A = this chain, B = another copy of it.
Amino acid sequence: MVKNSLGRAIPAVFNGKPLVPYRDPFSLMPQGHVAPRPLRRVNPGQSKRLSSLREAIEASGLRDGMTIATHHHLRNGDALLGMVVREIDALGLRDIRIASSSVHPVHAEIIPFIEKGVITALECGVNGPVGELASKGELACPITVRTHGGRARSIISGEVPVDVAFIAAPCCDEYGNMNGFYGPSACGSLGYAHTDAEHARCVIAVTDNLVPYPASPISIPQTLIDYVVTIDSLGDPRKIVSTTTRVTSDPVGLLIAKYAAQVIDASGLLRDGFSFQTGSGGISLAVADHVRRMMREQKVKGSFGCGGITGYFVDMLEEGLFQSLFDVQCFDLKAVESMGRNRNHMEISADMYANPFNAGAVVNRLDTVILGATEVDVNFNVNVNTESNGYLLHNTGGHSDTAAGAKLAIIVAPSIRGRLPIVKDEVTTITTPGETVDVVVTERGIAVNEKHSELRKELLRRKVPVKDIRQLQQEIYQVTGRPRPLEFEDEVVALIEYRDGTIIDVVRRIKD
């Protein structure tokens, strides 16, 4: 057990793998090479079609102890991971690791297979029940939570060798060319799946919409696909796009959004070439709404919008406020539809989006990102993984990636949530290091990281309620009282891996 640079105690080894403690966001240089991948040969006339998922798993050579991957563009509507795990069980395979891009509440269906020893590790973050059970010590399944960029890095670098990748392909031909734009399970971007297709030892395309050769446009090409399987349905299309995509109407949220917009305006970044990312939450969209109006008023011609893309950003693209969109994942059907017809709405891989170990990811070019938090601490460290009960309930997503990349990473959050203060002495779990977080915006005031003294001055000049983060914390504590610390066992149930592969924190089993 050693302490990393943020004071978190990190074990030397987890699930058999030696760990490197986090030090800082930018200095770790990659050693070594892109992971080797076997060369293949498919001759003319050879078919890639197999009649069932089971046949494909058999053909893939999946064996006990190996690693599989799926991707989460179908989100809480995804049926594929569950189907794959059931087939793996039916084939009698055991000790399989899952290295999917994310696991959602719908994937609670894999819990019995974890209990049965079919699945014995999650090389990916989790949303919902699996993490909760792990936090309670009720699942023997070590979890490694990664950022979107960190996951791409882990696969590309060979840290997590994926043996078999299953790609849910909403529009696919019999030779494996695919896109996510068309079909009953259309999800738009296939951003997370690109890395899997490029690096897994065996790649299986699974589709409910087989189209005549060639699928067009092609997001992931035939050269990477070993087998093609058709099934009835990739998932429940109503749940594929499940995020809130409306501007908040809550007065607290609206005030936070107004302050965040003032920070952007004061930063000087809102000029021609402006680039911007927000999530899909109501406050984020309210900030986007302010930004949109400011861009119109100030006649700013932006460069790109990025991220999980909503219809809101599609509107801004079509209005000419952005030149392009970079889309690793569509958050709504308007975004899906836009990708299918607008070439400036560009699909990007998770590697291109956020991998720290390539020749420069898109996050490096972000001016401003709006991010959420379950907690922040007085050093600007942010937690998005664990909730106030200490349960691991959320995946990291692009949080740490965009914070590291953007010139101005703004956390927006209500000062009090469920009677608990948002600003604490220490967050339960550090997801994103404070040195990459620039501003924390609450309805009670704004805290600016001390490295931005000019911005702080400008905000004060503009009479925006800037406060020292400790002062902000005290004001909140006056309402909420000092929160009682959570109590944990020593047992580590999950790693929080920083994007460069070092360990920024761990999640421990909660005390009964």
Contacts and interface: CB of A to CB of B under 8 A. Distances in A.
Q: Which of A28, A30, A42, A355 has the most CB of B within 10 A?
A: A42
Q: Which of A33, A45, A222, A357 has the most CB of B within 10 A?
A: A222
A212 B34 contact: no
Contacts of A405: 44
A340 B346 CA distance: 15
A360 B217 contact: no
A509 to B, nearest CB: 34
A390 to B, nearest CB: 33
Contacts of A245: none
A15 to B, nearest CB: 23
Interface string A341-365: 0011010100110011111111111
A41 B30 contact: yes
A323 to B, nearest CB: 7
Interface in A1-55: 26, 28-34, 36-46, 48
Q: Which of A216, A303, A359, A363 has the most CB of B within 10 A?
A: A359
Contact of A359 (B40, B44, B212, B360): B40
A363 B223 CA distance: 11
A405 B212 CA distance: 19
Given A214-B326, A218-B346, A323-B216, A223 B34 contact: no
Contacts of A362: 222
Contacts of A176: 359-360
Contact of A39 (B26, B34, B226): B34
Contacts of A28: 41
A44 B323 CA distance: 21
Interface residues of A, number: 64
Q: Which of A31, A34, A214, A358 has the most CB of B within 10 A?
A: A214
A223 B323 contact: no
Contacts of A182: none
Interface of A is mostly: loop
Interface string A218-248: 1001111110000000000000000000000
Contacts of A29: 41
Contacts of A46: 360, 364
A223 B358 contact: yes
A261 to B, nearest CB: 23
Nearest to A343: B217
A33 B44 contact: no
A402 to B, nearest CB: 11
A145 to B, nearest CB: 22
Contact of A225 (B39, B157, B343, B359): B359
Contacts of A31: 39
Contacts of A41: 28-30, 356-358
B42 A33 contact: no
A283 interface: no
A404 interface: yes
A324 interface: yes
Contacts of A38: 30, 32-34
Interface string A173-198: 00110000000000000000000000
Contact of A213 (B224, B303, B346, B352): B303
A166 interface: no
A217 to B, nearest CB: 5
Given A28-B41, A42-B364, 12 more contacts: A26-B43, A39-B156, A41-B357, A41-B358, A42-B358, A43-B356, A44-B364, A44-B405, A212-B303, A223-B352, A225-B359, A226-B359
25 contacts: A28-B41, A30-B39, A33-B39, A34-B36, A34-B37, A39-B157, A39-B357, A40-B357, A40-B358, A41-B357, A42-B358, A42-B360, A42-B364, A44-B365, A44-B404, A44-B406, A212-B323, A216-B323, A216-B343, A221-B348, A222-B352, A222-B362, A223-B355, A223-B359, A223-B360
